[in-house]
Structure 1
Amino acid sequence: MKSAVACDVTGSNFHHTSGLFVGSSGERMLPARFTQCSRAVASSSSAHTAPARLHTSAILHASYRSRKSRVAEKVNVEKRAERERLAALNRPHVVLGNRPGDESKWLNCDLSKIIITEEQILATPLSQPIQSQTQAQGQLELPKFMNYGVGEKEKELLFETLPALTVEATHLRAAGSGQLVPSYMHELSTKADAKELRKASQLATLVDLRNANAGGISYENRKRIVAAFSPPGKDGDTGRPEVQAAILTYQIRNLWNHLSNFKKDIANRRSLRRLVHQRAKILKYLKRVDRDRYDVVLDRLGLEPGSVEGELVV
């Protein structure tokens, strides 16, 4: 720092203090200089230390874009959920095979017309009266549905042929013993006819499907399915894919009806899932081997392609 220097210039006294010259009128110039310096320092310090103006346009734009994307995502989720809901309404039932509300496809298919249910059995008349040549004592009443695989041929054999042969054998035994008195033969024939009628009536009660359990009804239905879905000339072809798919469809519907009443039956629910996938596997094989047979059997079983193809969630 330079020392203060005082000099006299043109009759005026000037003082130099730290490079600042002050005249005789220093009392008036010094405050003005200090004021100017203070203003300059204040303006420069405010220019360097005052906070810059906050720009929020980028933040607002980012918030707007985020809000817009959330709204768009919500709309897309709602549209996707609506599409899935509509698709679920039109998607065929994985178990039953038909679309919701379209029961006619099942009711009009061959499998539905072949099988018999417990309700159908109980709704039929108790018996069908028939008159046999050897049953002059009365009419033999036969049930409409018979158990143990008794068909038309077996029915004719058991209720017509065998009783007639038994009565004839009684006559032959009487003739062999020499008892040919007309009154005796008439009485013998009457008793033999009554006995055979009673035996046939008891047998008809035993083979009546009304007295069968669920296993007996299932056996009768499986027999009908094998006969209906076997190819011509190959009766009883149980290894044919159509026969296996039909039997599985029948079992699946039985289990579904059971689980509708007993929802906590977990074991049968697993069995239902296994049967559904097994049916899909058999039909997939048939589709690969012969597409025409595949299309035909789907129609005969009352199944939509979507119920046996693709991912099956039971």
Structure 2
Amino acid sequence: MRNRQRGSNLGLLLLASQVFQLGIDNIPPVTLATLGLNVYLFLFPAKPLLRTCLSVREAYWYRDWSRLLLSPFHHADDMHLYFNMASLLWKGIKLERKLGGAWFAYLLSVFSLLTGLVYLLLETGLTHMTEDSSYSLQCAVGFSGVLFGLKVVNNHYHPGGATYIMGLPVANRYACWVELVLIHIMNPGTSFVGHLAGIVVGLLYTTGPLKSLMKTCAGFVTSNGQYGGQQTYYNSSGYSGYGTPYPPNSGAPYRQQYDTRTPSAPPQHPYTAGLSEDEQYETAVRASLNDRGQSHHAQTSSGKGLPSHF
């Protein structure tokens, strides 16, 4: 696929600067991989933009359901990409450390798909309510719908505090609603319904049945609410430990290490420094709250023109 025609590439330079300031080692792997996928598909799009954007007409009427998968990961221009990816860095670092890499990847996958589905339902509803078929023709592209959903989840796990929007403090629990309106007023080319769809998906997770449904579908969720399987935590220097003491089918070096300990001494994994699972979890939460990445707050969408931007 031929490279997208770009202008000054200012957005890509700003994004590279943002990543350099944070340090790649300080960005958890799922967040980094998601950022890399978005950048790659901007440089080498899977299809032309008008064939990846999502609308009722293209997805439902013409049965082009592949747009549900493609639309979140394509962007209209480099500044659109920059604002979305800068926001992903800020939210992803906090949430991936809070939830663990496996669950965060699961969350991103579900949110990416559901945001598109809710967008189609909202546009279909508006078409029938207003008897205006233009709602079914509006084609949206970009990751910011998913980011609005992540913002709701982040505020749920980190309650309290305020965000400054245009110099005015706004309680975090209401910030997504204020940003929803302001972004649409300041950038009419953005997709109001796409952003609203992300908020709806976030609320379905935090206050609705989505989280329970995801746990039911995920075979690695244990009865106490902790996520099973290997779970990685991070500090400002990168990897800090694993939630699972050792792999189920680990080799002889691991078994020998535990066999040499006295029966009365609890086994300690070399990466956990003797911390219990709860203590590791609390340490990870404190690290995420103190991380400098939380100060880099960015807008979730920008740009103008068609298609409208998620």
Q: TM-score range by the shorter chain?
A: under 0.3
- Structure scoring higher RCO (CA < 8 A, sep ≥ 6) equals 2
- TM-score, scaled to structure 2: 0.27
Larger radius of gyration, structure 1 or 2? 1
Normalization by structure 1: what TM-score?
A: 0.27
Q: Which structure has greater helix proportion?
A: 1
